[in-house]
Structure 1
Amino acid sequence: MELAQRIDGAIDRAIDEARIVGSVVMVWREGQPVYQRAAGFADREAGRATQLDTIFRFASVTKPFVAATALAMIDQGLLSLKDRVSDYLPWFHPPGPDGRTAEIVIRNLLTHTAGLNYRPGAGVLPPHDPVLIGLENTELTLEENFSRLNTVPLSYVPGTAWEYSIATDILGAVLSAIDGGSVEDAIRRYVFSPLGIADTGFVAVDGERVAVPYVNASPAPRAMDEPERVPGPYDVVYCFSPARIFNRHAFQGGGGGMAGTAGDVIRLLEMIRKGGDGVLKPETVASAIQNQIGALNVRPGVKFGFFGAVTEDAALDNSPLPDGAVSWGGVYGNRWCYDPATGTVAVAMTNTAPEGCDGAYPFDIWRAVFDL
């Protein structure tokens, strides 16, 4: 079966089985587009079909853009992996697990080894006044939100464990402080502008192209409420706010605050595939797509680089991705991957959570892409 038939089959099954409302899938190999398709609805109730330039809420697909910005600034000598976060953000100084001063460095933020998590303040701060993780609508600034963690001990000594976390939000704040503008100003200067990325940002660039977000339900996904609370893994409850992407006053959360197109994600991944493409040094990219957490694990068979997870043993992980692939996703319903061995970059964007990120859909797409 040809590539297009395999991917079409995976998309059609997900839509026919009411697991996905709308999706855009793009696959490039060795710098050439080999597949692209928009399927289903961006707005089912209005009958608006998904288009190749439909804008999706990224959630954690935001993270590799922030990571690339940080690495570009490191390449230009503006900061280093060993720099202490508190040197740039005097307002952020959570204590260590023992209550004493902890030292978080930039490397810890890039690799999610900073002692932070996605339950910030749980068990310490009042439940009615939580630290926001970047999906919720808000008028708070980065400092107003995250400085509240200064009374919350870290989950572990930085560098001694791996835990997915709000670290990239803090990294975005560091980049903003160094660059002197907003988080998006820094990303635009070092990543968006050099790569010609114009449809992605912390506020939707064109509201008419933004997909309506849906949450999986029976018998079919329903449009998200405002807000929409969805249970996630590790006792996390995601509080989605579809309106946030239209709020210019919400803090620019580097961990999950942007929205954009599949094509813009491809542009970022192609930069990585090409070894930096003038944005990053080749040796920086080579390092960023390798294991950066040593003996620690994301899970058995999976490590973490600077952009995302690194599959070291696909069989152990029961993964459709090949060994050496770099990948991650976004809880609004998105996944991306890069396979250095075949020069393949692929994006599967949807407007349906959690299926598009954590359900069978993206992994069916990867099986189709890699013919497994």
Structure 2
Amino acid sequence: MTKLGFDRKRLAAIDPFLNDRYVKPGRLPGTLTLVARRGEIAHLGVTGMADVERKKKLAEDTIFRIYSMTKPLTSVAFMMLVEEGKVSLDQPVHRYIPAWKDLGVFKAGTHKTGFMTTPTSGPMRIVDLLRHTSGLTYGFQNRTNVDAAYRSARIGEIEKAGTLDTMIADLAKIPLEFSPGTAWNYSVATDILGYLIGVISGQKFEDFLHDRILKPLGMKDTGFHVPADKAHRFAACYTPTPKGGMDLQDDPTKSPYLAPPSFVSGGGGLVSTAADYLKFAQAMLNGGVHIDGKHRHRLISRKTLDLMTANHLPGGVDLPALSKSLFSEAQYDGTGFGLGFATSTSAARTLMPGSDGDYFWGGAASTFFWIDPKEDLIAIFMTQLIPSSTYPVRNELRTMIYSALDD
């Protein structure tokens, strides 16, 4: 047993498993798995390539597109404004976006013919944005005429069009999927939080995030684009082929991430490294505090974090009772949703090892993290394959990491 309470052989089995099952057969380009416990790294394993075409090996400092793993950082940034008394969770969103005051719920029609709507049963509130009960959606859900309207306007796509301001204007013309607070649907809501951070703070969202989270935590490789002097560390991104291989989805030498974006996405725009994301995750595990030697920097209070990681779904139910999503970055059974994180309400119902109260999220390119306060445990997984639902690697990693505990 290691001093951090793991069986060495079981931890050491993770990387050969990933290599044999996914990397050698060409299903994933490469993997980085980081496991930390009690404030120390217990395992850091790297396999395969960051760029298959150029035979560039994946490294500990490789920069990845983390997509929706941006959402927890944006949510924490927003809760800083709540702590400062500048906004509250029960306020209506139209207080800050007046054009949304009369948004109705879809009844009939299309974006081409026009929509019929019915009034909402109540206003969309700030809490609805944080917990994805707003009535907004993602176009890639491919489920309804509202989703189709999002795709037509290129709202919430991986390569987003326009700016935060144009997205707000476009959404004022599209009805909600449901009355806010009555259902759960994975959506562009966290992008709206980024917009609101700018409105409420008076500072550009990207500057607020840098000044209040990225800089204090020393997350030097995290941002909304890859600077030229770091481009050689940027991974390629892939999509699966029908025969189980991969096609290049985003060439790191030609990627839109090499320049600052016009649309700054709080829902999915960041690039980062495993080491950087560990700093954020460890601050969360520390109760909202970043500790660097003798220096401490509090991001948010322990009680605010407790609020964020509690289940906020109406009635205390888990996701299967409320979800309308065909896709999200979480499995549903035994899972609730807080303010920016999914949380395990019943580890037994997930049919995987874990702890009630652990919290987590993932990104479109199959990245994933979770934080388990009961076990003082953090796990971060990095790779680059879209979509994240292609392989069950997240479940397999959860099982193998928890199975390596030996104390």
Does TM-score exceed 0.5, indicating one fold?
yes
Matched residue, 1:189: 211
CA distance in 1, matches of 2:68, 2:362: 6
What does residue range 1-372 of structure 1 map to in structure 2 within 5 Å?
2-13=9-20, 14-93=22-101, 95-97=103-105, 98-100=117-119, 103-119=123-139, 123=145, 129-138=152-161, 140-205=162-227, 206-217=230-241, 218-224=243-249, 243-277=255-289, 278-295=298-315, 296-298=317-319, 299-354=332-387, 359-371=391-403
In the TM superposition, residue 55 of structure 1 has moved relative to its aligned partner by 0.8
> Is the CA contact (8 Å cut-off) linking 1:94 and 1:149 kept in structure 2?
no
User: CA 1:297–1:128 in structure 2 vs 1: closer, same or farther (change >3 Å)?
Assistant: closer
CA distance in 2, matches of 1:127, 1:194: 36
> Is the CA contact (8 Å cut-off) linking 2:15 and 2:46 kept in structure 1?
no
> Is the CA contact (8 Å cut-off) linking 1:58 and 1:332 kept in structure 2?
yes
Is the radius of gyration larger for structure 1 or structure 2? Answer: 2
Report which structure shows greater RCO (CA 8 Å, sep ≥6).
1
Map Cα deviations across residues 291-314 of structure 1 (whole Å, 9 max, x no partner).
111434323311001232111223
Paired residue type of 1:244: P
CA distance in 1, matches of 2:167, 2:318: 29
CA distance in 1, matches of 2:240, 2:348: 29
Unaligned runs of 5+ in 1: 227-241
CA distance in 1, matches of 2:205, 2:85: 18
In the TM superposition, residue 264 of structure 1 has moved relative to its aligned partner by 1.5
Matched residue, 2:112: none
Map Cα deviations across residues 297-352 of structure 1 (whole Å, 9 max, x no partner).
32331100123211122332233433322111101120100111101011001012
Unaligned runs of 5+ in 2: 1-6, 106-116, 290-297, 320-331
CA distance in 2, matches of 1:16, 1:269: 30
User: CA 1:209–1:92 in structure 2 vs 1: closer, same or farther (change >3 Å)?
Assistant: farther
User: CA 1:119–1:352 in structure 2 vs 1: closer, same or farther (change >3 Å)?
Assistant: closer
Compute the TM-score of the two structures, normalised by the length of structure 2: 0.81
CA distance in 1, matches of 2:356, 2:255: 38
Paired residue type of 1:264: D
Deviates more, 1:265-274 or 1:292-301: 292-301
> Is the CA contact (8 Å cut-off) linking 2:139 and 2:157 kept in structure 1?
no
> Is the CA contact (8 Å cut-off) linking 1:292 and 1:303 kept in structure 2?
yes
Cα RMSD after superposing both structures:
2.3
User: CA 1:132–1:44 in structure 2 vs 1: closer, same or farther (change >3 Å)?
Assistant: same
In the TM superposition, residue 23 of structure 1 has moved relative to its aligned partner by 1.7
Compute the TM-score of the two structures, normalised by the length of structure 1: 0.88
CA distance in 1, matches of 2:364, 2:214: 23
| Equivalent residue pairs, number | 355
In the TM superposition, residue 156 of structure 1 has moved relative to its aligned partner by 1.2
> Is the CA contact (8 Å cut-off) linking 1:24 and 1:350 kept in structure 2?
yes
In the TM superposition, residue 41 of structure 1 has moved relative to its aligned partner by 0.6
User: CA 1:25–1:153 in structure 2 vs 1: closer, same or farther (change >3 Å)?
Assistant: same
SS at match of 1:153: coil
CA distance in 2, matches of 1:80, 1:220: 48
CA distance in 1, matches of 2:282, 2:393: 23
Paired residue type of 1:37: G
CA distance in 1, matches of 2:211, 2:264: 16
> Is the CA contact (8 Å cut-off) linking 1:28 and 1:34 kept in structure 2?
yes
> Is the CA contact (8 Å cut-off) linking 1:25 and 1:36 kept in structure 2?
yes
Map Cα deviations across residues 147-194 of structure 1 (whole Å, 9 max, x no partner).
212122211111111111110000110001122232211111221122
SS at match of 1:62: helix
Deviates more, 1:127-136 or 1:268-277: 127-136
Q: What is the identity percentage for the equivalent residue pairs of Structure 1 and Structure 2?
A: 28
CA distance in 1, matches of 2:42, 2:178: 44
User: CA 1:321–1:15 in structure 2 vs 1: closer, same or farther (change >3 Å)?
Assistant: farther
CA distance in 2, matches of 1:253, 1:79: 21
In the TM superposition, residue 248 of structure 1 has moved relative to its aligned partner by 2.0
In the TM superposition, residue 129 of structure 1 has moved relative to its aligned partner by 3.2
Matched residue, 2:114: none
